[in-house]
Amino acid sequence: MKVSHNWLKDLVDINITPIELSEKLSIGGFEVESLTDCSLNVKDVVLGKVLSVEKHINSDKLSICSVDIGLSSVLQIICGANNIRPDIYVYVAPIGSYLKAVDLEIKSAEIRGVLSEGMICSLQELGLEQLSKGIAVIEESLASKYKLGHNAADILQLNDFIYDLAITANRPDGMSLIGIAREVSALLETNLSLPNVDYISDINILKTGSFIPEAIDNESIYSVSFIENVDGNFISPKWIKDRLEISDIKSINLIVDITNYILLEQGQPLHAFDREKLSTLIGRDVRASDFGVRNGRDDEKLIGLDGKCYLLNSNVTVITCDDKPVAIAGIIGGLETSVTETTTSICLEAAVFNPSVIRGSSKEIGLRTESSSRYEKGISYKNTLFSVCRSIDLFKRFYKSSKYKVYASRVVNDDNNSVRLRRSRIHKILGPIVLYDPQTNLVEKRLLNDSEIVHKLQLIGCSINNMDGGWDVSVIPNRSQDLIREIDLIEEIARLIRYDMFDQKIPEPVRPGKLTNFQLAARKLKNSLVNSGFNEVLTYSLVQMDKEKDQVKISNPLVSELSCLRDSIWQDHLKICDQNIKSGSKACWIFEIGNIFITHDNDNIQKELISGAICGDKKLSEWNTSGKKNSLDYYQARGKLQQAISSLNVSIQDKLNDKFDHLHPGRSSILIIEGKESGYFGQIHPKLLLGNKLIKNLYLFSIDSDNLLNAAIRKSTWNPIYKNYATVPSIERDVSFVFDKKYLVAEIINFIKKSGKSLLENVNLIDIYNDKTLSNNFINYTFRLIYRDKDKTLQESDISELHNNLIDSIENNFAAKQRI
């Protein structure tokens, strides 16, 4: 919202500089994004008179001019304009001046051998026109009012400042000059000088049968005024043109300019229809009852004032005349019924629509205008007929013989919104103000007294009635959109008093928050997965219903395709891998920490899983594979997962299992954590990759998040235990056994560790052997046993008995046979 300082001064007394006012407005809630000095382009330009003009002896196009600017001596200026002549008044930029519009500093210079002591300016060079054909010639009647050498800013009426205000959604009153003037009056505690308006009491009631309630509700109004004996040929006076142009609104003609002037001054959008064109459109004289508000239809279209054709539908609210669309409500009028130079009578529309309706129409057609921006923020219907009366006053001022008749959908009473304000509530919310006396260096703290509270509310136009414990506050219409609750009034009091005047109420220091061990473990796991080459993904929890599954259903789904909660995640991960490989990626390693939802004993259970997929190999070089794409085998893929999880220091055992239908029956295992089944790892079933020539091997994993992270934060695991390095040597013994393949290596190693007592430090599998000499059900494992005593160097005699007992225990427990 751009506001002229001079226009503002006509409405309110301002006793501070524009810079100081911009600071007060910003502190008060209307942020001033920029403050523009209109006279900056003509700061050093003065009024001059051309005394004589002679042709330049060395140029056919240049002239030597003698120019008087009120100094003791006449200036000699070289000018190349075609319209230069003696005895005319011009704008002169003397030596030392700077023309911002053309980025030119005026200096004394010789032009074709003749000295030039300044520059005679065109309006283009003053930044007032896009293109000028010659220098600017000032009318003698205007120039005679000023002395030669007078600053051009006064002559051009450019001694003004423009405030560019950022108006927030909760302050729609800021979208009008009257609203800003009231704000300035409240901040400066100065008098308002609002325009006098002759209110029209003879208002005819308009039937509302053709108004849809979605657009014209209880807080809305629709009015149309028939105004005759106007003339579309009339051009607006300069003061109206200037005020419109400052707000970036182009002057059209007096009729249209008056509607735009009211838009800026009162904040009420108006639209003028050409009455004769409306009559031609419907084939008879137009009546007030012909106007209506309805939703558009799919087969309708409207050519707007901007010349564009807008396709209408049920999401667009339109203004109709005899059910024919003539405007898009609150946004733009139609070109077919617009005011032109032939207009002699108009139908003046003034309305307040439901903001959500205007917002929807604006979004649908992709257009936002000065009118729609005000409707979207919300304006009071109580100000509409007042704005109509103000516009009619202007029409009567310029069209002396104009006649009018006003119709409205409702009668607007004088009752304003009333809000109960409690004294105790003000004191509780705001607390005391702090007053400092610089002479005595004394600080006084006290609560606001009644006179201060009443005074600040009266400054914003509120009427006050005393009541027990407080006041009954009547709010003026232009603030009725944001002052609706007691706390709103308290905020206004604090804003006008100034927030920095109140005593600080800083809360007591609170203990800083921190992540729990469980959260730290989850973050550590994520980082470890990423560092190991995995990418985190996020998939939707909503899926389509599968009649073969017992899914958790949503009671109010947006669409039927997303009517259930997922009970697994691997399907989405398979799609992601497939899409990435088809897009040219050599590998796709992904993980997700997400929830699944299952039904158990008629209860819906939510479980968090760490799931993912491993597809392809992420080698940096391909020389050792001759450029061929290789896939990881089962053990390499399982090792990548183990590498990522190892940061948690949790032991995970793999147990061969084929209970998962989507996994390869011979290449999948259950993951055991602390003796509990906690997930799975395995190669995807080949049947799910039929027809996919790009993906050879793809591995899926899923781990119960709670089981893994709770195991990670056990005190014995989470808190590292530091041990001294061994200072004595160890003894190593390698033993080989033939085992039945039904026994897992992890199971055997755990048994050996438990049986080895305190001297057995570690057990490692170092070799696997299988050949034709062994039957199909048997396999040879070689283990390395490491013995160490922390206090002394072991002798062979110290471990021989223990070692032999271990061998016997292994043979007896697993029916194994030692190989020598």
Distance separating alpha carbons of residues 102 and 80, to the nearest angstrom: 17
Q: What is the DSSP letter of 39?
A: G
Helices 355-365, 370-377: axis angle to 10 degrees equals 140
Report the alpha-carbon distance of residue 552 to residue 105 in Å, rounded.
77
Distance of alpha carbon 739 from alpha carbon 685, whole angstroms: 29
Q: What are the DSSP calls for 254-293, one per residue?
A: HHHHHHHHHHHHHS--EEEEEHHHHHHHHTS---GGGEEE
Q: How many residues does the chain have?
A: 820
CA distance 76 to 101: 24
Please state whether 441 falls in left (phi above 0), alpha (psi between -120 and 50) or beta.
left
Distance CA 172, CA 183 (A): 12
φ/ψ (deg, to 5) at 758 = -80, -25
Residue 694: alpha-carbon gap to chain centroid: 42
CA distance 257 to 89: 31
Residue recorded with tokens 């075609």:
82
DSSP letter (8 states) at residue 304: B
DSSP H or E stretch at residue 593: strand 588-600
- Half-sphere CA count of 809, side-chain side, radius 13 A: 16
Q: What is the pLDDT of residue 606?
A: 93
Q: Give every CB contact of residue 738 below 8 A, 6+ residues apart in sequence.
A: 774, 778, 779, 780, 816, 817, 819
Rounded Cα distance, 807 and 187, in Å? 95
Q: Which residues pair with 603 in a beta bridge?
A: 600
The contacts of residue 540 (CB under 8 Å, 6+ apart) are 562, 566, 572
489: left (phi over 0), alpha (psi -120 to 50) or beta: alpha
Which residues is 110 bridged to in the sheet?
A: 115
Sites in the chain below the pLDDT cut of 70 = 208, 621-627
CB 400: neighbour CB atoms within 10 A?
8
- Reported as a single tens digit per residue, the pLDDT across 157-180 is 888 999 999 988 888 889 999 999
Helix (H) or strand (E) holding 660: none
Relative orientation angle of helices 18-28 and 177-188, to the nearest 10 degrees: 90
Pick from 792, 803, 797: which is nearest to 733 by CA?
803
How many Å apart are CA 88 and CA 157, to the nearest integer?
20
Q: Which positions ≥6 away from 279 have C-beta within 8 Å? A: 285, 286
The predicted pLDDT at position 371 comes to 94
Rounded Cα distance, 146 and 48, in Å = 10
Distance in Å from the first CA to the final CA of the chain = 95
CA dist., res. 565 & res. 613, Å (int)? 21
CA 244 – CA 254 distance, rounded (Å): 12
DSSP, collapsed to helix, strand or coil, labels residue 819 as strand
Rounded Cα gap, residues 574 and 687, in angstroms: 13
Q: What are the C-alpha distances in Å from 741 to residues 217, 254, 654, 704, 779?
A: 81, 100, 15, 29, 6
**How many Cβ atoms sit within 10 Å of the Cβ of residue 808?**
12
pTM to 2 decimal places = 0.64
pLDDT of residue 624: 66
The two beta strands, 433-437 and 442-446, are: antiparallel
Residue 567 pLDDT? 92
**Residues whose CB falls within 8 Å of the CB of residue 720, separated by 6 or more in sequence, listed in order:** none
Give the Cα-Cα-Cα angle 377, 382, 384 (nearest 5 degrees): 75
Residue 392 pLDDT: 95
Query: What is the three-class DSSP state of 799?
Result: helix
- What is the predicted pLDDT for the residue at 690? 81
CB 357 within 8 Å of CB 214: yes
User: 279-313 pLDDT, tens per residue?
Assistant: 999 999 999 999 999 999 998 999 999 999 999 99
Question: DSSP H helical segments within 461-585, as ranges?
Answer: 486-497, 517-531, 570-582
Whether the Cβ atoms of residue 291 and residue 319 lie closer than 8 Å to each other: yes
DSSP state of 312: -
Question: 109: which strand partners?
Answer: 116
pLDDT at 626: 64
At residue 342, φ and ψ (nearest 5 deg) are -90, 0
In a 10 Å sphere around its CB, with 0-12 CB exposed, 13-18 middle and 19+ buried, how is residue 275 labelled? buried
Residue 627: its pLDDT value, please?
Answer: 63
Q: What is the Cα–Cα distance from 53 to 612, expressed in whole angstroms?
A: 89
Percent helix, strand, coil in the chain, to 5, is: 30, 30, 40
Residue with tokens 């995995």: 534
Pairing of strands 89-94, 137-138: antiparallel
- Residue whose entry in the numeric block shows the structure tokens 């239908």: 661
Sheet containing 542-543, strands listed edge to edge, beginning at the edge strand earlier in sequence: 542-543, 564-565, 552-553
Sheet holding 2-4, edge to edge: 2-4, 161-166, 31-37
Per the listing, tokens 């901040």 go with: 187
